[in-house]
């Protein structure tokens, strides 16, 4: 008797997995969307987040508190982005950090009168930054300026201009990158730096840092006499500051400061290295700090 044919096993078909639940990102609650945008920062918002949907666009454009702190790097479209960010702040911008020229500086001070802190990067070799415009910012207390390709005397003139425009600053930091294509030598500056040196009284200035700055004994004296509450002074690499010419009175004034750096050190890092700045990329990006809000 022939054996029966083998039974075919029926394959059990597993049910198809359920499609993943779709999320309507446009329906995110406003407070969550605000927190997300704060983590992204202005550049990322304008380059993508506010183009996701109409709801996100409204959240990005219609919430001035998102733009209280504006941080940008040097990119071809930086000026358009900076203007848009200042406009979105609707007068509430308190801190700006990024590239700047005279045209944008005027735009900034006219539309961001609540500014308390600015950090500007200026690299136009033939145009001096008109910092006198800063006198339109009554709440300004912290200024940080990076200037490249300056010419004879520009560093001193710019420093004094900032002091005249902002006599109530609490912190001031300026970095001058020497234009190495300049055709003058150190001897050409001697006469210029022996001229009278004066800055207005900076009654609230507590911290002053001048990098790549030619400081003389006369200049040091003027700074100490004009800044009664100064606590920290950092002017490294000042070729013209000859400490042997400092008298006892000037040494005593320096001794009252909590922190002071004046001596020239040939191994001192350049202000480019200290700033970790690239002219094409702007200031190095730092983690976005939402504690500002």
In a domain, 235, yes or no: yes
- The CATH number of whichever domain residue 94 belongs to comes to 3.80.10.10
Positions of E strands within the chain: 69-71, 95-99, 117-122, 142-150, 171-178, 207-211, 232-234, 259-261
Q: Is residue 288 part of a domain?
A: no
Asked if residue 74 lies in contact with residue 121, where contact means CB atoms within 8 angstroms, the answer is: yes
Q: Give the predicted TM-score (pTM) of the model.
A: 0.74
Pair 123, 80 in one domain: yes
33 vs 235: CA distance, rounded Å: 44
284, part of any domain: no
Give every CB contact of residue 59 below 8 A, 6+ residues apart in sequence: 30, 33, 34, 37, 50
Tokens linked to 256: 């009252």
Pair of tokens at residue 263 = 């001596």
Q: Residue 116 is part of which domain span?
A: 71-262
Asked if residue 215 and residue 104 are part of one domain, the reply reads yes
Q: Which of the listed residues 40, 66, 92 is the one where a domain comes to its end? A: 66
Split into its structural domains, the chain has a count of: 2
* Each residue's pLDDT expressed in tens, for the chain with a length of 293 residues: 566 666 666 666 667 776 666 666 666 676 777 777 777 777 778 777 766 777 777 777 778 888 899 998 877 889 999 999 999 999 999 999 999 999 999 999 999 999 999 999 998 767 888 999 999 999 999 999 998 766 556 777 889 999 999 999 999 999 987 654 444 444 434 444 455 678 999 999 999 999 888 788 888 999 999 999 999 999 886 555 656 577 889 889 999 999 998 865 444 444 444 444 333 343 333 444 444 44
Same structural domain for residues 133 and 168? Answer: yes
Measured over the CA atoms of residue 188, residue 190, residue 193 and residue 195, the dihedral's sign is: negative
* Inside any domain, residue 117: yes
In a shared domain, residues 162 and 52: no
Answer yes or no: is 168 within a domain: yes
């Amino acid at each position: 008797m022939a054996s029966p044919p083998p039974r075919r096993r029926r394959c059990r078909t597993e049910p198809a997995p359920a499609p993943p639940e779709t999320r309507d990102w446009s329906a995110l609650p406003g407070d969550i969307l605000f927190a997300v945008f704060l983590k992204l920062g202005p550049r990322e918002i304008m380059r993508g987040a506010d183009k996701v949907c109409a709801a996100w666009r409204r959240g990005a454009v219609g919430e001035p508190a998102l733009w209280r702190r504006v941080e940008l790097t040097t990119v071809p479209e930086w000026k358009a982005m900076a203007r848009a960010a200042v406009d979105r702040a609707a007068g509430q911008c308190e801190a700006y950090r990024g590239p700047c020229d005279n045209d944008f500086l005027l735009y900034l001070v006219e539309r961001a009168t609540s500014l308390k802190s600015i950090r500007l990067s200026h690299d136009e070799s033939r145009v001096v930054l008109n910092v006198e415009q800063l006198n339109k910012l009554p709440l300004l207390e912290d200024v940080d300026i990076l200037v490249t390709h300056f010419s004879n005397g520009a560093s001193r003139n710019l420093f004094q201009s900032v002091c005249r425009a902002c006599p109530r600053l609490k912190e001031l930091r300026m970095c001058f990158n020497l234009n190495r294509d300049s055709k003058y030598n150190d001897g050409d500056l001697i006469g210029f730096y022996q001229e009278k040196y004066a800055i207005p009284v900076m009654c609230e200035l507590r911290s002053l840092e001048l990098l790549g700055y030619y400081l003389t004994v006369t200049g040091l004296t003027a700074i100490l006499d004009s800044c009664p509450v100064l606590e920290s002074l950092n002017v490294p690499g000042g070729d013209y500051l000859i400490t042997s010419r400092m008298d006892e009175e000037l040494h005593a004034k320096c001794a009252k400061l909590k922190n002071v750096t004046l001596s020239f050190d040939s191994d001192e890092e350049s202000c480019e290295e200290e700033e970790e700045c690239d002219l094409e990329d702007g200031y190095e990006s730092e983690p976005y700090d939402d504690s500002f809000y």
